Chain A
Amino acid sequence: MKRTIPVLIASIAGLVLIIAHFVPPAQSWGDEVNTWFQILAAFAFFLGGGSLLKMHLKRISDQQEGWGFSAVTLLAFGITLIVGIFKLGVLPSETYPTKPWSGEYLGDGGALWWIYQYLFTPLNATMFALLAFFISSAAFRAFRAKNTEAMILLVTATIVLVGRTYAGAFLTEGFNPHWQLAAIIDEWFMSVFNTAGARAIKIGIALGVVSTSLKVLIGTDRSYLGSEE
C-alpha cells in the first residue's frame, strides 16, 4: 500500500497530462494537475528545509569533521529564512501603504535585499569567476595532443577561442577587412558540426525520456520512490 498509492498517483497524473495534451477538450484536466503540482512543489520546500536541518543538526551533535561548516550553514539558513518571511526592513508597497507587510519581499533597503546584494551576489559571482583560473591551469596541464581525436579537439577549440574575440578578426582581416574569416569559420563549426551533434543528443535524450516516462506510468520503474526499506 505504501508504494502502490504513490505509483497510482504518479500514473494517473502522467496519463491525465498526456490525454490533456492530445485531446483539446481535456485540456482543463491538465491545468488542474499543473495547479496541484505547484501546491505540492510548495510543500517540497518544507521537506527540503527539514532535510537540511536534520542532516546538519546531526553533524553538529555528532561533532563530525567539519561540523563548524554545518553550523554556519544553519545560521545562514535561519537568518535568511527569518528576514525573508518577516520581510524585515521592507517598506509597504505604494498600492497598500497602510499594510506593513504589503511590500515586495526583496524590496530595496530590506534585510533580504541586503543579504542578496552584499553577500549572495559577490559570493556567487566569485565562485563562478574562479573558473577562469582553474580553466587556465587545466589548459596547460590537460589539453595534450596525445592522439588524432585530441588533436582535432585542440585545433577546433583554438579556432573557436580565437574566433570569439577581436584577435580572430585582426589575424584574418588581411583577407578582406569586411569579411571576418575567423568568425565565419567559428560560426561554421558551431552551426554545422555542433548543431548536428546537439540535435542528435537532443533526439536521443527525448527518446530516453519517452521510454523512462512510459516505465514510470505503467509502474515498472519505481526508482523515484527511493529504496524498498
Chain B
Amino acid sequence: MTLLKEGQIDRRWIYLAMLCAVGLPILLQLTFPEIPSPKVLDVFDAVDKLPEGSRILMACDFDPASAGELEPMMSAFVRHCGTKNHKLIFLALWPQGAPVIKSNIVILNKEFPEYEYGKDYVNLGYQPGNEVVLKVLVTDFKKQCSTDVDGTSTSTLPLTRDLTKIQQLSLVISVSTGNPGTTEWVQYVASPFGMPMVAGTTAVQAPSLYAYIPRQLISVLGGIKGAAEYEQAIIDHYPTMGENNGAREGLRRMGPQLLGHLLIVMLIVVGNVLYFSQKEKGVGA
C-alpha cells in the first residue's frame, strides 16, 4: 500500500488518518475551551430568562444517525430547564424520537429527583402526521394529544389539564435534523402565532435556519459546536453543572471535530498542491 501513486494518495491512508483524527481525541479525552457565541447566548437567554417554572414544549425530531450531534444538545436543554425548574412537555414528530425522549427523561429523573411525572413533565411520545400534527396542536391540543405515552388522559395530568392550544406555553424548543422538524415548527407554530422558539439542529441544517433569525426564531444551536458552546454557557452560569461529566458531552466531542476538520483542511491543501504541481508538469491536468 504505497502512500502516493500518480499524484493520488491511496484512499486507505486517508481513511486511516481520519480514524486516528477522530479516535485519538476520544481515547485521550482531549477537550478544548469554548467561548459561547452571541447566537448561542441568545438561545441560553431564551431559556434562562423565562420565569422559573415556565411551561416549555420540547420537540425531539431526530434519529440515532444524528444523535452524535444532537443528543448532547437535547440533554443540555433538559439540564438547563431542570436547573430553572421549568415544566417540560416532550413530543416527537419522528417515531425514532420517542426513545430519545425516554433517555432524556432518565436524565431528568436521575439529576432532578424532585421532578414529578404529570406535574413537572409529561411525555406525549411520537405523534404521527407530520406538519398536520402542528396544525391541530395550535387549534385543539387535546384533539391531537388526548393521552400521554402511557395512555393517561392529558385532561387529568396537572401540567396539561388546562392546555387547550400550545400557544399557551412559554417556549418551544425544537431539536431536529430534517423534515418534519424545526422548519415546520417555525412555519406552522412560531411564525403564525408569534410563539417564542429556539432550536438545535445539525451543522448541515443550521445554515437554512439562519434565515428565520431573529423574528421567527430566536436563535439556533448549530451542530456539536453549538452544543459545546451551550454547555459552556450553562457551566459559566451554573458552575456546579461543570462537575457533571454528562453535562460536558458536547465539549468532549469537540476534540474529534477539531482534528477531523484540520485533517480535511490539510487534505484539501495537499490535494491542490499535487494538482497544481502535476498541472505544471502537464500530467493529467
Q: Give the B-binding residues of A (Cβ under 8 A).
A: 27, 30-31, 34-35, 37-38, 41-42, 93-96, 102-104, 106, 108, 113, 116-117, 120-122, 124-125, 127-129, 132-133, 135-137, 139-141, 143-145, 154, 157-158, 161-162, 164-167, 169, 180, 183, 187, 190-191, 194-195, 198-199, 201-202
Q: Once the chains are docked, how many angstroms separate the CA of A61 from the CA of B270?
A: 51
Asked whether, in the complex, the Cβ of A194 is within 8 Å of the Cβ of B203, the reply is no
Structural contact, A106 and B208, CB atoms closer than 8 A: no
Which of A95, A127, A187 has the largest count of B CB atoms less than 10 A from its CB? A95
Query: Contact between B254 and A187 (Cβ–Cβ < 8 Å)?
Result: no
Contact at A166–B258, with CB atoms within 8 Å? yes
Q: Are A136 and B132 in contact (CB under 8 A)?
A: no
- A143 touching B257 in the complex, CB below 8 Å, given contacts A183-B37, A195-B211: no
Bound CA span A167–B254, Å: 11
B34-56 contacts to A (CB < 8 Å): 34-35, 37-39
Interface centre among B98, B210, B275 (most CB of A within 10 A): B210
B 156-199 contacts with A by CB, 8 A: none
- Contact A165 B262, beta carbon cutoff 8 Å: yes
* B207 interfacial by beta-carbon distance below 8 Å: yes
Of the candidates B68, B152, B271, the one whose C-beta lies within 8 Å of that of A125 is: B68
Q: Establish whether residues A198 and B208, one from each chain, have CB atoms under 8 Å apart when the complex forms.
A: yes
The 10 A-B pairs with the shortest beta carbon distances in the complex, nearest first, are: A166-B32, A128-B65, A165-B258, A198-B211, A140-B267, A121-B64, A124-B64, A140-B271, A93-B150, A38-B129
Select B152's contact among A95, A120, A132, A165, beta carbons within 8 Å.
Answer: A95
Contact assessment for B268 and A139 in the assembled complex, using a CB-CB cutoff below 8 Å: yes
A102–B265 CA distance with the chains assembled, in angstroms: 54
**Contact partners of B66 in chain A: CB under 8 A:** 128
A-B contact pairs, 14 of them (CB 8 A): A35-B143, A41-B130, A104-B150, A106-B99, A108-B102, A121-B67, A132-B18, A133-B15, A161-B261, A165-B261, A167-B262, A194-B210, A195-B210, A198-B211
Q: Does B283 contact A (CB under 8 A)?
A: no
Q: A31 and B143 in contact (CB under 8 A), knowing A93-B150, A128-B68, A132-B260?
A: yes
Main secondary structure of the interface of B (DSSP, over half): helix
B22 at the interface (CB under 8 A from A): yes
Cα A31 to Cα B138 in complex, Å, equals: 10
| Residue from B9, B206, B261 within 8 A of A167 (CB atoms) | B261
Asked if A165 meets B207 with Cβ closer than 8 Å, knowing A125-B64, A128-B66, the reply is no
Residues of B within 8 A of A161 (CB): 261, 264-265
Told that A96-B151, A137-B11, A162-B265 touch, could you supply 4 new A-B pairs with CB distance under 8 A? A121-B64, A132-B22, A190-B207, A198-B208
Contacts of A93 in B (CB 8 A): 150-151
Find B210's partner among A165, A169, A191 (CB 8 Å cutoff). A191
Indicate if B3 sits at the interface (CB-CB under 8 A).
Answer: no
A129 contact from B68, B125, B139, B268, Cβ within 8 A? B68
Does B146 reach chain A (CB closer than 8 Å)? no
Quick one: which of B150, B210, B254 contacts A166, CB cutoff 8 A?
B254
Which residues from chain B contact A140 at a C-beta distance below 8 Å? 9, 14, 267-268, 270-271
| A1 nearest CB across to chain B (Å) | 28
Task: Kindly provide the distance from the CB of B176 to the nearest chain A CB, expressed in whole angstroms.
Answer: 15
> Shortest Cβ distance from A24 into chain B, in angstroms?
11
Q: Which residue of A lies closest to B206 (CB)?
A: A190
A136, B151: Cβ atoms closer than 8 Å: no
B270: chain A residues within 8 A (beta carbon): 140
Closest residue of chain A to B259 (Cβ to Cβ) is A165
Which chain A residues lie closer than 8 Å to B208 at the CB level?
Answer: 198, 201-202
**Residue B84 is within 8 A (CB to CB) of chain A in the complex:** no
Alpha-carbon gap, A79 to B148, bound state (A):
27
Question: What's the least CB distance linking B182 to chain A, in Å?
Answer: 13
B135 touches A34 (CB 8 A): yes
**B265 adjacent to A169 (CB under 8 Å):** no
Closest to A38 in B: B129
CB-based nearest B residue for A202:
B211
> Bound complex: CA of A194 vs CA of B34, how far in Å?
23
A158 to B18, CA, bound (A): 17
User: Closest residue of chain A to B31, judged by CB?
Assistant: A166
Complex alpha-carbon distance, A120 and B98, angstroms: 14
Closest partner residue, chain B, to A45 (CB atom): B128
State how many angstroms separate the Cβ of A3 from the closest Cβ of chain B. 25
By the criterion CB–CB under 8 Å, are A187 and B37 in contact? yes
Chain B CB within 10 Å, residue with most, of A34, A154, A201: A34
Residue of B nearest to A165 (CB): B258
List B104-159 residues whose CB lies under 8 Å from chain A: 125, 128-130, 132-133, 135-136, 139-140, 143, 149-152
